[in-house]
Amino acid sequence: MDNERRKTLLRGLPSVDELLRLPELKEAVTIYSAPMVADAARIVLEGCRSSIIKDGIEDGIEAGIEAGIEDGALVPSAAALASLVLEEAARAVRPGMARVINATGIVLHTNIGRAILSPEAIEAVVLAAGGSVNLEMDISTGERGQRDARVERLVRRLTGAEAACVVNNNAAAVLIALNTLAQSREVVVSRGELIEIGGSFRLPEIISKSGCLLKEVGTTNRTHPADYEEAIGERTALLFKAHTSNYRVVGFTAGVPLKKLASIAAAHNIPVVEDLGSGSLVKIEGVAPPVVEPTVAQSLSAGASLVTFSGDKLLGGPQAGIIAGSAALVERIKKNPLKRALRADKLTLAALEATLLLYLNTDTVTRKVPTLRFLSRPFGDIDSAAQMAASLLRAALGPDYEVEVVDVESMAGAGSMPGQTIPSRGVSVTHGSLSPQKIYGIFLSASPAILGRISGDRFLLDMRAVREPADVVPRTGA
Ligand SMILES: *Cc1c(COP(=O)(O)O)cnc(C)c1O
Protein backbone atom coordinates (compact mmCIF):
# COMPACT_ATOMS: atom_id res chain seq x y z
CA MET A 1 0.00 0.00 0.00
CA ASP A 2 1.49 3.37 -0.89
CA ASN A 3 1.68 6.14 1.62
CA GLU A 4 -1.07 8.15 -0.01
CA ARG A 5 -3.55 5.37 0.33
CA ARG A 6 -2.49 4.76 3.89
CA LYS A 7 -3.02 8.42 4.70
CA THR A 8 -6.46 8.39 3.13
CA LEU A 9 -7.44 5.41 5.21
CA LEU A 10 -6.10 6.98 8.39
CA ARG A 11 -7.96 10.19 7.63
CA GLY A 12 -11.12 8.17 7.22
CA LEU A 13 -11.04 7.20 10.91
CA PRO A 14 -13.21 9.27 13.23
CA SER A 15 -11.73 11.10 16.24
CA VAL A 16 -12.35 9.94 19.79
CA ASP A 17 -14.81 12.80 20.27
CA GLU A 18 -16.70 11.90 17.11
CA LEU A 19 -16.93 8.34 18.31
CA LEU A 20 -18.20 9.39 21.71
CA ARG A 21 -20.98 11.40 20.09
CA LEU A 22 -22.37 8.28 18.43
CA PRO A 23 -25.86 7.59 19.80
CA GLU A 24 -24.84 3.92 20.29
CA LEU A 25 -22.34 5.02 22.94
CA LYS A 26 -24.58 7.38 24.92
CA GLU A 27 -25.85 4.66 27.21
CA ALA A 28 -22.38 3.16 27.60
CA VAL A 29 -21.29 6.37 29.28
CA THR A 30 -23.91 5.93 32.00
CA ILE A 31 -22.84 2.31 32.52
CA TYR A 32 -19.06 2.60 32.38
CA SER A 33 -18.41 6.36 32.96
CA ALA A 34 -17.18 8.79 30.34
CA PRO A 35 -13.43 8.33 30.94
CA MET A 36 -13.76 4.53 30.61
CA VAL A 37 -15.63 4.82 27.30
CA ALA A 38 -13.14 7.40 26.03
CA ASP A 39 -10.30 5.03 26.93
CA ALA A 40 -12.03 2.18 25.13
CA ALA A 41 -12.54 4.41 22.07
CA ARG A 42 -8.86 5.34 22.07
CA ILE A 43 -7.85 1.68 22.25
CA VAL A 44 -10.18 0.73 19.39
CA LEU A 45 -8.99 3.61 17.18
CA GLU A 46 -5.37 2.81 17.97
CA GLY A 47 -6.05 -0.77 16.91
CA CYS A 48 -7.51 0.39 13.58
CA ARG A 49 -4.63 2.78 13.03
CA SER A 50 -1.99 0.18 13.64
CA SER A 51 -3.64 -2.32 11.32
CA ILE A 52 -3.60 0.28 8.60
CA ILE A 53 0.01 1.20 9.27
CA LYS A 54 1.35 -2.29 9.90
CA ASP A 55 3.36 -3.49 6.94
CA GLY A 56 2.13 -7.00 7.34
CA ILE A 57 -1.39 -5.93 6.48
CA GLU A 58 -0.41 -4.97 2.94
CA ASP A 59 -0.59 -8.45 1.53
CA GLY A 60 -3.95 -8.83 3.12
CA ILE A 61 -5.17 -5.61 1.51
CA GLU A 62 -3.79 -6.58 -1.86
CA ALA A 63 -5.49 -9.94 -1.55
CA GLY A 64 -8.67 -8.24 -0.43
CA ILE A 65 -8.65 -5.81 -3.33
CA GLU A 66 -8.13 -8.66 -5.72
CA ALA A 67 -11.09 -10.38 -4.12
CA GLY A 68 -13.12 -7.22 -4.75
CA ILE A 69 -13.09 -5.74 -1.24
CA GLU A 70 -12.63 -1.98 -1.20
CA ASP A 71 -9.82 -0.30 0.69
CA GLY A 72 -12.53 1.36 2.68
CA ALA A 73 -13.41 -1.94 4.30
CA LEU A 74 -10.31 -1.43 6.45
CA VAL A 75 -12.12 1.43 8.12
CA PRO A 76 -15.04 -0.10 10.00
CA SER A 77 -18.39 1.64 9.84
CA ALA A 78 -19.43 3.89 12.73
CA ALA A 79 -21.79 1.21 14.01
CA ALA A 80 -19.02 -1.39 13.90
CA LEU A 81 -16.64 0.94 15.72
CA ALA A 82 -19.26 1.62 18.37
CA SER A 83 -19.75 -2.06 19.02
CA LEU A 84 -15.98 -2.55 19.22
CA VAL A 85 -15.87 0.23 21.82
CA LEU A 86 -18.65 -1.42 23.82
CA GLU A 87 -16.79 -4.72 23.76
CA GLU A 88 -13.58 -3.05 24.83
CA ALA A 89 -15.27 -1.20 27.72
CA ALA A 90 -16.95 -4.40 28.89
CA ARG A 91 -13.62 -6.22 28.71
CA ALA A 92 -11.88 -3.51 30.73
CA VAL A 93 -14.27 -3.83 33.68
CA ARG A 94 -14.34 -7.62 33.72
CA PRO A 95 -12.18 -9.06 36.53
CA GLY A 96 -9.10 -10.70 35.07
CA MET A 97 -9.20 -13.41 37.73
CA ALA A 98 -11.70 -16.04 36.66
CA ARG A 99 -12.73 -19.49 37.75
CA VAL A 100 -11.02 -22.40 35.99
CA ILE A 101 -11.75 -26.12 36.21
CA ASN A 102 -8.88 -28.20 37.54
CA ALA A 103 -8.86 -31.44 35.56
CA THR A 104 -5.05 -31.50 35.52
CA GLY A 105 -4.83 -34.24 38.13
CA ILE A 106 -2.54 -31.97 40.15
CA VAL A 107 -4.51 -31.32 43.32
CA LEU A 108 -2.34 -28.41 44.50
CA HIS A 109 -1.53 -26.55 41.30
CA THR A 110 0.44 -23.39 42.05
CA ASN A 111 -0.57 -21.64 38.83
CA ILE A 112 -4.26 -21.95 39.62
CA GLY A 113 -4.09 -21.04 43.28
CA ARG A 114 -3.17 -24.27 45.12
CA ALA A 115 -5.58 -25.27 47.88
CA ILE A 116 -9.32 -24.73 47.61
CA LEU A 117 -10.84 -23.58 50.88
CA SER A 118 -13.50 -25.49 52.79
CA PRO A 119 -16.96 -23.90 53.10
CA GLU A 120 -16.10 -23.19 56.76
CA ALA A 121 -12.97 -21.27 55.75
CA ILE A 122 -14.82 -19.40 53.02
CA GLU A 123 -17.48 -18.36 55.52
CA ALA A 124 -14.79 -17.06 57.86
CA VAL A 125 -13.20 -15.04 55.04
CA VAL A 126 -16.53 -13.51 54.09
CA LEU A 127 -17.15 -12.55 57.70
CA ALA A 128 -13.74 -10.93 58.09
CA ALA A 129 -13.91 -9.22 54.70
CA GLY A 130 -17.32 -7.69 55.14
CA GLY A 131 -17.08 -6.23 58.61
CA SER A 132 -14.92 -5.37 61.56
CA VAL A 133 -13.55 -8.31 63.53
CA ASN A 134 -11.62 -8.83 66.77
CA LEU A 135 -8.38 -9.22 64.81
CA GLU A 136 -6.07 -7.77 67.43
CA MET A 137 -8.42 -7.45 70.30
CA ASP A 138 -9.34 -9.56 73.28
CA ILE A 139 -13.07 -8.98 73.44
CA SER A 140 -13.40 -10.17 77.03
CA THR A 141 -11.13 -7.37 78.25
CA GLY A 142 -11.32 -4.90 75.38
CA GLU A 143 -7.54 -4.86 75.42
CA ARG A 144 -5.17 -5.16 72.53
CA GLY A 145 -4.39 -8.75 71.61
CA GLN A 146 -2.11 -10.54 69.18
CA ARG A 147 -3.40 -11.24 65.71
CA ASP A 148 -1.72 -14.65 65.58
CA ALA A 149 -3.03 -15.80 68.96
CA ARG A 150 -6.00 -17.87 67.78
CA VAL A 151 -4.04 -19.66 65.10
CA GLU A 152 -1.13 -20.14 67.49
CA ARG A 153 -3.34 -21.88 70.02
CA LEU A 154 -4.56 -24.31 67.35
CA VAL A 155 -1.11 -24.98 65.89
CA ARG A 156 0.17 -25.75 69.38
CA ARG A 157 -2.65 -28.13 70.00
CA LEU A 158 -2.37 -29.85 66.62
CA THR A 159 1.41 -30.19 66.46
CA GLY A 160 2.59 -30.21 70.05
CA ALA A 161 4.65 -27.07 69.37
CA GLU A 162 5.35 -24.74 72.31
CA ALA A 163 4.58 -21.69 70.20
CA ALA A 164 3.80 -20.57 66.68
CA CYS A 165 3.37 -17.53 64.48
CA VAL A 166 2.08 -16.79 61.01
CA VAL A 167 3.50 -14.84 58.07
CA ASN A 168 2.54 -14.35 54.45
CA ASN A 169 3.85 -17.59 53.00
CA ASN A 170 6.44 -20.24 53.71
CA ALA A 171 9.14 -18.38 51.81
CA ALA A 172 8.61 -15.51 54.25
CA ALA A 173 8.65 -17.96 57.16
CA VAL A 174 12.08 -19.24 56.13
CA LEU A 175 13.33 -15.70 55.53
CA ILE A 176 12.28 -14.35 58.91
CA ALA A 177 13.37 -17.45 60.83
CA LEU A 178 16.85 -17.27 59.36
CA ASN A 179 17.11 -13.51 59.68
CA THR A 180 16.08 -13.66 63.32
CA LEU A 181 18.30 -16.54 64.37
CA ALA A 182 21.30 -16.32 62.09
CA GLN A 183 21.89 -12.81 60.74
CA SER A 184 25.57 -12.30 59.88
CA ARG A 185 26.29 -15.85 60.93
CA GLU A 186 26.50 -19.22 59.25
CA VAL A 187 23.64 -21.52 58.32
CA VAL A 188 24.75 -25.09 57.67
CA VAL A 189 22.88 -26.91 54.88
CA SER A 190 23.51 -30.18 53.07
CA ARG A 191 24.36 -29.79 49.37
CA GLY A 192 21.64 -32.36 48.71
CA GLU A 193 19.02 -29.95 50.05
CA LEU A 194 19.88 -26.68 48.31
CA ILE A 195 16.49 -26.60 46.72
CA GLU A 196 14.88 -24.42 44.14
CA ILE A 197 11.13 -24.60 44.02
CA GLY A 198 8.77 -22.91 41.56
CA GLY A 199 8.35 -19.16 41.52
CA SER A 200 12.08 -18.56 42.09
CA PHE A 201 12.38 -19.68 45.69
CA ARG A 202 16.04 -20.69 45.82
CA LEU A 203 17.32 -21.62 49.22
CA PRO A 204 20.85 -20.17 48.75
CA GLU A 205 19.30 -16.85 47.70
CA ILE A 206 16.83 -16.79 50.60
CA ILE A 207 19.69 -17.50 52.98
CA SER A 208 21.71 -14.62 51.60
CA LYS A 209 18.69 -12.27 51.57
CA SER A 210 18.16 -13.19 55.23
CA GLY A 211 21.57 -11.74 55.89
CA CYS A 212 23.08 -15.13 56.63
CA LEU A 213 26.06 -16.97 55.26
CA LEU A 214 25.45 -20.32 53.65
CA LYS A 215 27.80 -23.08 54.76
CA GLU A 216 27.33 -26.03 52.43
CA VAL A 217 28.23 -29.49 53.62
CA GLY A 218 28.39 -32.93 52.02
CA THR A 219 27.74 -33.60 48.37
CA THR A 220 24.70 -33.67 46.14
CA ASN A 221 23.97 -37.32 46.85
CA ARG A 222 25.64 -38.01 50.21
CA THR A 223 25.95 -36.05 53.43
CA HIS A 224 27.10 -37.62 56.71
CA PRO A 225 26.89 -36.57 60.37
CA ALA A 226 30.63 -35.90 60.35
CA ASP A 227 30.13 -33.32 57.59
CA TYR A 228 27.94 -31.29 59.90
CA GLU A 229 30.25 -31.83 62.89
CA GLU A 230 33.22 -30.52 60.93
CA ALA A 231 31.34 -27.51 59.63
CA ILE A 232 30.21 -26.26 63.01
CA GLY A 233 32.37 -23.46 64.33
CA GLU A 234 32.20 -20.18 66.18
CA ARG A 235 30.20 -18.49 63.46
CA THR A 236 27.58 -21.23 63.14
CA ALA A 237 24.11 -20.01 64.07
CA LEU A 238 22.03 -23.05 63.21
CA LEU A 239 21.66 -26.26 61.23
CA PHE A 240 19.08 -26.08 58.50
CA LYS A 241 17.19 -28.94 56.93
CA ALA A 242 15.03 -28.48 53.85
CA HIS A 243 12.42 -30.91 52.67
CA THR A 244 13.36 -31.74 49.09
CA SER A 245 9.89 -30.92 47.89
CA ASN A 246 10.04 -31.40 44.19
CA TYR A 247 12.67 -34.06 43.62
CA ARG A 248 14.14 -37.14 45.17
CA VAL A 249 17.79 -38.09 45.17
CA VAL A 250 17.84 -41.81 44.49
CA GLY A 251 20.60 -44.40 44.11
CA PHE A 252 23.82 -44.14 46.12
CA THR A 253 22.59 -41.65 48.67
CA ALA A 254 22.94 -40.76 52.30
CA GLY A 255 21.34 -38.02 54.32
CA VAL A 256 21.35 -37.22 57.99
CA PRO A 257 17.99 -37.87 59.62
CA LEU A 258 16.50 -35.01 61.58
CA LYS A 259 16.89 -36.87 64.87
CA LYS A 260 20.63 -37.22 64.36
CA LEU A 261 20.91 -33.62 63.20
CA ALA A 262 19.07 -32.49 66.33
CA SER A 263 21.48 -34.37 68.58
CA ILE A 264 24.48 -32.82 66.82
CA ALA A 265 22.91 -29.37 67.17
CA ALA A 266 22.08 -29.94 70.82
CA ALA A 267 25.66 -30.95 71.56
CA HIS A 268 26.77 -27.59 70.18
CA ASN A 269 23.91 -25.70 71.74
CA ILE A 270 22.52 -24.41 68.44
CA PRO A 271 19.03 -24.86 66.98
CA VAL A 272 17.88 -26.95 64.01
CA VAL A 273 15.38 -25.32 61.70
CA GLU A 274 13.49 -27.51 59.28
CA ASP A 275 11.72 -26.12 56.23
CA LEU A 276 9.01 -28.72 55.73
CA GLY A 277 7.41 -27.08 52.72
CA SER A 278 4.06 -28.79 52.77
CA GLY A 279 3.90 -29.50 56.45
CA SER A 280 1.15 -32.03 56.72
CA LEU A 281 -0.68 -31.92 60.05
CA VAL A 282 -2.15 -35.40 59.86
CA LYS A 283 -1.38 -38.71 58.27
CA ILE A 284 -3.63 -38.66 55.24
CA GLU A 285 -5.64 -41.88 55.28
CA GLY A 286 -7.11 -43.70 52.35
CA VAL A 287 -4.46 -42.73 49.80
CA ALA A 288 -2.77 -45.60 48.01
CA PRO A 289 0.20 -45.59 47.90
CA PRO A 290 0.24 -43.93 51.32
CA VAL A 291 1.41 -40.36 51.65
CA VAL A 292 4.98 -40.28 52.88
CA GLU A 293 5.10 -36.59 53.84
CA PRO A 294 6.46 -36.06 57.35
CA THR A 295 4.02 -34.35 59.69
CA VAL A 296 4.87 -31.23 61.64
CA ALA A 297 4.42 -33.10 64.91
CA GLN A 298 6.90 -35.78 63.79
CA SER A 299 9.52 -33.17 62.94
CA LEU A 300 9.08 -31.42 66.26
CA SER A 301 9.28 -34.64 68.23
CA ALA A 302 12.36 -35.68 66.23
CA GLY A 303 14.01 -32.57 67.65
CA ALA A 304 13.49 -29.69 65.23
CA SER A 305 13.72 -26.44 67.19
CA LEU A 306 11.53 -24.75 64.59
CA VAL A 307 9.66 -25.94 61.55
CA THR A 308 8.29 -23.78 58.78
CA PHE A 309 5.48 -24.82 56.44
CA SER A 310 2.88 -23.50 54.01
CA GLY A 311 -0.78 -22.89 54.72
CA ASP A 312 -1.95 -23.68 51.20
CA LYS A 313 -0.20 -26.94 50.43
CA LEU A 314 -1.23 -30.22 52.09
CA LEU A 315 -2.71 -28.30 54.99
CA GLY A 316 -5.41 -27.14 52.59
CA GLY A 317 -5.85 -23.60 53.86
CA PRO A 318 -5.03 -20.11 52.60
CA GLN A 319 -1.61 -18.92 51.46
CA ALA A 320 0.39 -18.49 54.65
CA GLY A 321 3.65 -19.46 56.27
CA ILE A 322 3.57 -21.01 59.71
CA ILE A 323 6.51 -21.16 62.06
CA ALA A 324 6.13 -23.59 64.95
CA GLY A 325 8.44 -24.81 67.69
CA SER A 326 10.42 -23.51 70.61
CA ALA A 327 8.70 -20.71 72.56
CA ALA A 328 11.94 -18.80 73.06
CA LEU A 329 12.77 -18.83 69.34
CA VAL A 330 9.23 -17.98 68.22
CA GLU A 331 9.25 -15.08 70.69
CA ARG A 332 12.38 -13.69 69.03
CA ILE A 333 10.76 -14.00 65.60
CA LYS A 334 7.66 -12.16 66.77
CA LYS A 335 9.86 -9.27 67.89
CA ASN A 336 11.72 -8.99 64.58
CA PRO A 337 10.58 -5.82 62.73
CA LEU A 338 10.31 -8.00 59.62
CA LYS A 339 7.33 -9.71 61.29
CA ARG A 340 5.36 -6.50 60.82
CA ALA A 341 6.29 -6.41 57.16
CA LEU A 342 5.45 -10.07 56.60
CA ARG A 343 2.39 -10.43 58.82
CA ALA A 344 -0.69 -12.21 57.54
CA ASP A 345 -3.84 -10.20 56.88
CA LYS A 346 -7.23 -10.75 58.50
CA LEU A 347 -8.62 -12.74 55.57
CA THR A 348 -5.74 -15.19 55.74
CA LEU A 349 -5.96 -15.54 59.49
CA ALA A 350 -9.71 -16.07 59.31
CA ALA A 351 -9.36 -18.81 56.70
CA LEU A 352 -6.42 -20.40 58.49
CA GLU A 353 -8.19 -20.52 61.84
CA ALA A 354 -11.31 -22.04 60.27
CA THR A 355 -9.20 -24.64 58.44
CA LEU A 356 -7.25 -25.57 61.57
CA LEU A 357 -10.50 -25.92 63.52
CA LEU A 358 -11.49 -28.67 61.09
CA TYR A 359 -8.36 -30.59 62.08
CA LEU A 360 -9.58 -30.84 65.67
CA ASN A 361 -11.97 -33.56 64.59
CA THR A 362 -9.69 -36.26 63.23
CA ASP A 363 -12.70 -38.33 62.12
CA THR A 364 -14.01 -35.74 59.69
CA VAL A 365 -11.01 -33.62 58.67
CA THR A 366 -10.22 -35.68 55.56
CA ARG A 367 -13.76 -35.21 54.35
CA LYS A 368 -14.02 -31.53 55.20
CA VAL A 369 -10.74 -30.11 53.90
CA PRO A 370 -11.04 -30.23 50.09
CA THR A 371 -7.33 -30.92 49.50
CA LEU A 372 -7.44 -33.96 51.75
CA ARG A 373 -10.76 -35.06 50.31
CA PHE A 374 -9.42 -34.92 46.75
CA LEU A 375 -6.23 -36.78 47.68
CA SER A 376 -8.11 -39.55 49.45
CA ARG A 377 -11.06 -39.69 47.04
CA PRO A 378 -12.05 -43.32 46.49
CA PHE A 379 -11.07 -44.71 43.09
CA GLY A 380 -14.63 -45.95 42.46
CA ASP A 381 -16.02 -42.50 43.06
CA ILE A 382 -13.58 -40.93 40.59
CA ASP A 383 -14.43 -43.68 38.11
CA SER A 384 -18.17 -42.94 38.31
CA ALA A 385 -17.47 -39.24 37.83
CA ALA A 386 -15.33 -40.09 34.79
CA GLN A 387 -18.09 -42.32 33.32
CA MET A 388 -20.62 -39.55 33.79
CA ALA A 389 -18.29 -36.90 32.35
CA ALA A 390 -17.58 -39.15 29.35
CA SER A 391 -21.23 -39.52 28.47
CA LEU A 392 -21.86 -35.79 28.87
CA LEU A 393 -18.84 -35.05 26.67
CA ARG A 394 -19.92 -37.55 24.01
CA ALA A 395 -23.28 -35.82 23.82
CA ALA A 396 -21.76 -32.34 23.77
CA LEU A 397 -18.89 -32.93 21.35
CA GLY A 398 -20.66 -35.15 18.83
CA PRO A 399 -19.52 -38.21 16.90
CA ASP A 400 -16.28 -36.72 15.50
CA TYR A 401 -14.65 -37.01 18.88
CA GLU A 402 -13.50 -40.18 20.55
CA VAL A 403 -14.27 -39.99 24.28
CA GLU A 404 -13.00 -42.76 26.55
CA VAL A 405 -12.63 -43.39 30.27
CA VAL A 406 -9.00 -44.16 31.02
CA ASP A 407 -6.56 -44.75 33.89
CA VAL A 408 -4.53 -41.68 34.79
CA GLU A 409 -2.09 -40.71 37.53
CA SER A 410 -2.76 -37.76 39.84
CA MET A 411 -0.20 -35.87 41.88
CA ALA A 412 -0.43 -33.80 45.04
CA GLY A 413 1.60 -30.98 43.44
CA ALA A 414 3.15 -27.82 44.93
CA GLY A 415 6.12 -29.81 46.12
CA SER A 416 4.08 -32.22 48.21
CA MET A 417 4.73 -35.93 47.97
CA PRO A 418 7.57 -35.59 45.43
CA GLY A 419 7.77 -38.35 42.85
CA GLN A 420 4.58 -39.94 44.13
CA THR A 421 1.57 -40.48 41.91
CA ILE A 422 -1.90 -41.67 42.87
CA PRO A 423 -3.91 -43.90 40.51
CA SER A 424 -6.93 -42.02 39.25
CA ARG A 425 -9.54 -42.09 36.48
CA GLY A 426 -10.09 -39.61 33.75
CA VAL A 427 -11.49 -39.00 30.30
CA SER A 428 -9.43 -39.06 27.14
CA VAL A 429 -10.67 -36.85 24.29
CA THR A 430 -9.26 -37.39 20.80
CA HIS A 431 -10.34 -36.48 17.29
CA GLY A 432 -9.44 -37.95 13.91
CA SER A 433 -8.00 -34.72 12.53
CA LEU A 434 -7.44 -32.42 15.52
CA SER A 435 -4.19 -32.58 17.49
CA PRO A 436 -4.43 -32.90 21.29
CA GLN A 437 -3.05 -29.35 21.47
CA LYS A 438 -5.97 -28.12 19.33
CA ILE A 439 -8.45 -29.98 21.52
CA TYR A 440 -6.86 -28.52 24.65
CA GLY A 441 -7.25 -25.10 23.03
CA ILE A 442 -11.00 -25.66 22.73
CA PHE A 443 -11.28 -26.61 26.42
CA LEU A 444 -9.09 -23.67 27.45
CA SER A 445 -11.21 -21.15 25.57
CA ALA A 446 -14.40 -22.42 27.21
CA SER A 447 -15.96 -20.40 29.99
CA PRO A 448 -14.89 -21.34 32.61
CA ALA A 449 -11.62 -22.57 31.10
CA ILE A 450 -11.05 -26.29 31.58
CA LEU A 451 -7.49 -27.31 32.36
CA GLY A 452 -6.44 -30.84 31.51
CA ARG A 453 -3.21 -32.34 30.37
CA ILE A 454 -1.72 -33.74 27.19
CA SER A 455 -0.17 -37.17 27.34
CA GLY A 456 1.25 -38.46 24.08
CA ASP A 457 -1.46 -38.04 21.46
CA ARG A 458 -4.29 -37.69 23.96
CA PHE A 459 -5.94 -34.83 25.74
CA LEU A 460 -6.79 -36.03 29.26
CA LEU A 461 -9.14 -34.77 31.94
CA ASP A 462 -8.36 -36.20 35.40
CA MET A 463 -11.55 -36.19 37.46
CA ARG A 464 -9.92 -36.38 40.92
CA ALA A 465 -10.18 -32.68 41.80
CA VAL A 466 -13.24 -31.88 39.67
CA ARG A 467 -16.39 -31.30 41.70
CA GLU A 468 -19.13 -32.05 39.17
CA PRO A 469 -18.79 -34.20 36.04
CA ALA A 470 -20.56 -31.46 34.05
CA ASP A 471 -17.73 -29.06 34.93
CA VAL A 472 -15.51 -30.60 32.24
CA VAL A 473 -18.03 -30.04 29.45
CA PRO A 474 -16.89 -26.90 27.58
CA ARG A 475 -19.39 -24.07 27.65
CA THR A 476 -19.15 -20.82 25.74
CA GLY A 477 -19.17 -17.54 27.62
CA ALA A 478 -22.32 -15.53 28.10
C1 LIG B 1 6.65 -24.69 48.83
C2 LIG B 1 7.92 -24.60 49.59
C3 LIG B 1 8.42 -23.37 50.02
C4 LIG B 1 7.73 -22.07 49.72
O5 LIG B 1 6.49 -22.02 50.30
P6 LIG B 1 5.45 -20.90 49.86
O7 LIG B 1 4.32 -21.06 50.82
O8 LIG B 1 5.10 -21.19 48.45
O9 LIG B 1 6.13 -19.59 49.99
C10 LIG B 1 9.60 -23.37 50.71
N11 LIG B 1 10.25 -24.51 50.99
C12 LIG B 1 9.79 -25.72 50.59
C13 LIG B 1 10.56 -26.94 50.94
C14 LIG B 1 8.61 -25.81 49.87
O15 LIG B 1 8.15 -26.99 49.46
Each residue's pLDDT tens digit, 331-371 = 999 999 999 999 999 999 999 999 999 999 999 999 999 99
3-17: pLDDT as tens digits: 777 788 888 888 999
Greatest distance between any 2 Cα atoms in the chain: 89
Q: Is the CB of 318 under 6 A from ligand 1?
A: no
Cα 172 to ligand 1 centre (Å): 9
| Residue with CA at minimum distance from ligand 1 atom 7 | 170
* CB of 325 shorter than 6 A to ligand 1: no
The pLDDT of residue 476: 82
Q: Is the CB of 353 under 6 A from ligand 1?
A: no
Mutate to test the pocket of ligand 1, among 310, 315, 416 (most ligand atoms within 8 A of CB): 310
The percentage of residues in the chain with a pLDDT greater than 90, rounded to a whole number, is 73
Q: What is the CA(423)–ligand 1 centre distance, in A?
A: 25
- 277 pocket-lining for ligand 1 (C-beta < 6 Å): yes
Model's pTM, two decimal places? 0.90
Residue (of 180, 118, 206) closest to 323 by Cα position: 180
For residue 477, what pLDDT is reported? 60
Alpha-carbon span 121 to 301, nearest angstrom: 29
The Å distance, Cα 279 to ligand 1 centre, comes to 10
Q: Which amino acid is at 139?
A: I
User: What's the confidence (pLDDT) of residue 289?
Assistant: 66
31-50 average pLDDT score:
92
Alpha carbon nearest to ligand 1 atom 14, residue: 277
Q: How many residues does the chain have?
A: 478
State how far the Cα of 221 lies from the Cα of 254, in Å rounded to an integer. 7
Phi, psi of 446 (to 5 degrees): -70, 170
Compute the distance from residue 74 Cα to the ligand 1 centre, in Å: 52
- 25-29, 118-122, 172-176, 299-303: lowest mean pLDDT where? 25-29
pLDDT digits (tens, 9 = 90+) for 77-127: 888 889 999 999 999 999 999 999 999 999 999 999 999 999 999 999 999
pLDDT of 70 reads 53
Sign of torsion, CA 358 364 370 375?
A: positive
| CA-276 nearest atom, ligand 1 | 13
Would the CB of 309 count as within 6 Å of ligand 1? no
What pLDDT score was predicted for residue 73? 56
Kindly give the number of the ligand 1 atom that is closest to the alpha carbon of 311. Answer: 7
Q: 96 CA to middle of ligand 1, Å?
A: 26
**Ligand 1 binding pocket includes 197 (Cβ within 6 Å):** yes
Q: Which residues of 60-84 are buried (b: 16+ CB within 10 A; e: fewer)?
A: ebeeeeeeeeebeebbeebeebbeb
Is the CB of residue 238 below 6 angstroms from any atom belonging to ligand 1? Answer: no
Residue 444 confidence class, pLDDT cut points 50, 70, 90: very high
| Whole-number pLDDT of residue 1 | 62
- Which positions ≥6 away from 49 have C-beta within 8 Å? 10, 13
Residue nearest to atom 13 of ligand 1 (CA): 277
Q: What is the CA radius of gyration of the chain?
A: 28
Report the distance separating Cα 163 and Cα 307, nearest Å: 11
Predicted local distance difference test score (pLDDT) of residue 67:
44
Residue 150 burial (CB count, 10 A): 19
